[in-house]
Structure 1
């Protein structure tokens, strides 16, 4: 089945999907307009979609046998868009990570698969998820049963890469960690306030916070394996409101990233321990909270190699494999790959002739819509071929 040829004929419809979702970008775990649109389009194709978890959508197609899951994320970022696109969002949110592209691609794949359902040797399960940027959406849908009934045997996701990344480049990793884990944390330090002229009467939480921040950096410097990707970032510190008063508390937030489960565990536990012991050293107390988290993204080599073989069967513009991708960024598809043999692909959707092309998470970012039919064809073709090879 020539899914690329069929997807190319759907290009205008895929662009419509993408731009509609883009225009009212929604964030987090509550995406009412996006969910309603996805459900409406799936019903129009002949599916019987249902909601899963807080704001996820799923549907299945095919027959009994092995099950492959195709996943797209739907949420945007809480920042004002500055792309200049005529369909730009004006509600203070921005699809700056391309999740509108991913949703449009999966809708396109759903349409292609429905039109060729008789060719399927098993079942394809569609997964449209919220909350990827919060690292909560996949976990929420897993807890609600997305990997069961029918039980999922393999999974595939595509993420677009913009900036100057050429159209058609597809990046993957079949031998090591592709993306780091991510854990966001909040440290609340409690002290004792006083007038700034009498520091001896205080337990200064700002001073404690400063020592905590410096001490936690030594986890990277002296307690992690130098060859592994590890990052500990302090993103905010909030304390006090006056120049001549010592406040009662200080709040630090930050994030931890690691390329292995072992380093992730070490960094989280040591950050907590250092914060608590440093606070106690200066007579304060400390509460350490993990706000969200996702494991490192480690794909299954056999599934990845199969998907690369299937993608190479398609003759699309700029096709160029790029193996061995590693990134400090994180992705909550890792919750899926941690439970099910999975493949994760980055697909080029940038503008290589524009040296000023913005990258993902930039409010001025733009995406090359020529990638839409390529992505839809890859998802549909890989799903059909994997099912045929694995019954």
Structure 2
């Protein structure tokens, strides 16, 4: 692989940071976070734990106004630019059945590994803080609530996280764990890394009527079926195969409970995912009038609600190349894989990457005693993570920040 920053990687084989002495504490912190999982933008227990870990250090700390975020700024002893490292903190509304000693009892569950993200970033803070006199620049640490559908990253940007150090970062990085990928292996790619996500809600109005005399009524069910097929055909024929989109119908519900009456309305719910800004715009512009036209053709009024969620997560080519180079030199070629295609999951780190060049990296965290076949997936009640990767995660985040500051 061609080095993105050949002038600064000559000594990268020398491991600058060693998280081994703190690994036990990182695991304990992660498990405490896991036990007290919280949902959304208001995470008082999680925020309090993060603040407790940070307040003893020489940092500039700011808490969020409209969300339980924490922003910490570490200023190095040498002049240099600013780099941002980010961890999301919220859990999912899933009841955990694991029976683990540190299982959540809050009715929420860290089924996406955000507890590891927080603990890993706290480790990176300590590693960089220990060498702050030598640090060639400034690091912003972004502890963010509300990734799971609440756009917490966008709110933190609105509240000024990118200006927290007085000047904008030149690069931003995040590491996301994955309980289905080999433990300790890193994955990333240049360009689109994760998909955008939008939701399409359609309500088709009928008149109700007797099923024996459908000619005297407007039956919304076949109209809804036509809409479903038309949306799928739109993706197959109007979206380039080289720039795919995925539309998944998530629900079709009727407003009729009687067993012998045509419904007065049908609601369709769909998820729309794309991998480029152009296709993202195309789907938003064209799907709503397509649905409306079908309803109009049948005399059935339709209402549509198209809600954008997260934009495409796009790794800057220069920063992705830099990150891959650092990862390979730090963990060896066997410990790093370049993804051949984007993943269709979503991430609100995309909001940061829209404004700051950077890269999202995935770190495998499937326990070694869990087979790939049948392994519980992310966002499932059975998701389980190998938290021994926390040392490697902390070291990698610290190394990415240090090397990127040194390269400018």
Q: 1:330, CA displacement in angstroms?
A: 1.7
22, 47, 53: which is aligned to 1:35?
A: 47
Q: 1:51 matched to which residue of 2?
A: 63
Q: Secondary structure at the match of 1:232?
A: strand
Q: 1:2, CA displacement in angstroms?
A: 4.6
Q: 2:392 matched to which residue of 1?
A: 374
Q: 1:337, CA displacement in angstroms?
A: 1.3
- Change in 2 beyond 3 A, CA 1:263/1:21: same
RMSD: 2.2
- Change in 2 beyond 3 A, CA 1:194/1:47: farther
- 1:236 matched to 2:251? The reply is yes
Q: Secondary structure at the match of 2:70?
A: strand
Q: Whole-Å Cα distance in 2 between the matches of residues 203 and 140 of structure 1?
A: 44
Q: Whole-Å Cα distance in 2 between the matches of residues 329 and 368 of structure 1?
A: 21
Q: 1:12 matched to which residue of 2?
A: 24
Gaps of 5+ in 2: 1-13
Q: 1:124, CA displacement in angstroms?
A: 0.4
- 1:84 matched to 2:99? The reply is yes
Q: Whole-Å Cα distance in 1 between the matches of residues 207 and 163 of structure 2?
A: 52
317, 320, 325: which is aligned to 1:301?
A: 317
Q: 2:218 matched to which residue of 1?
A: 203
Q: Secondary structure at the match of 1:184?
A: strand
Q: Whole-Å Cα distance in 2 between the matches of residues 201 and 38 of structure 1?
A: 64
- 1:159 matched to 2:176? The reply is yes
Cα deviation 1:121-164 (Å, max 9, x = unaligned): 1110011112222161212222222222432221000011222x
369, 383, 389: which is aligned to 2:401?
A: 383
Q: Whole-Å Cα distance in 1 between the matches of residues 158 and 206 of structure 2?
A: 39
Q: Whole-Å Cα distance in 1 between the matches of residues 352 and 282 of structure 2?
A: 23
- Change in 2 beyond 3 A, CA 1:215/1:2: same
Q: Whole-Å Cα distance in 2 between the matches of residues 86 and 319 of structure 1?
A: 34
38-47 vs 252-261, which moves further = 38-47
Preserved contact between residue 58 and residue 74 of structure 2 (Cα < 8 Å): no
Cα deviation 1:359-390 (Å, max 9, x = unaligned): 21221111111110110111111111111111
Q: Secondary structure at the match of 1:134?
A: coil
Preserved contact between residue 204 and residue 301 of structure 2 (Cα < 8 Å): yes
Give the TM-score normalised by structure 2.
0.88
- 1:121 matched to 2:139? The reply is no
- Change in 2 beyond 3 A, CA 1:29/1:203: farther
Cα deviation 1:233-261 (Å, max 9, x = unaligned): 11112222332233433322211111111
- Change in 2 beyond 3 A, CA 1:299/1:280: same
Q: 1:179 matched to which residue of 2?
A: 194
- Change in 2 beyond 3 A, CA 1:260/1:18: same
- Change in 2 beyond 3 A, CA 1:197/1:2: same
- Change in 2 beyond 3 A, CA 1:170/1:50: same
Q: 1:96, CA displacement in angstroms?
A: 0.9
356, 362, 377: which is aligned to 1:359?
A: 377
Q: 1:282 matched to which residue of 2?
A: 298
Q: 1:271, CA displacement in angstroms?
A: 1.9
Give the TM-score normalised by structure 1.
0.91
Q: Whole-Å Cα distance in 1 between the matches of residues 58 and 207 of structure 2?
A: 64
Q: Whole-Å Cα distance in 1 between the matches of residues 175 and 146 of structure 2?
A: 16
* Aligned 1:110-149 pairs, distance under 5 A: 110-134=125-149, 136-149=151-164
Preserved contact between residue 42 and residue 48 of structure 1 (Cα < 8 Å): no
Q: 1:200, CA displacement in angstroms?
A: 4.5
Q: 2:264 matched to which residue of 1?
A: 248
Gaps of 5+ in 1: none
- Change in 2 beyond 3 A, CA 1:209/1:279: same
Q: Secondary structure at the match of 1:119?
A: coil
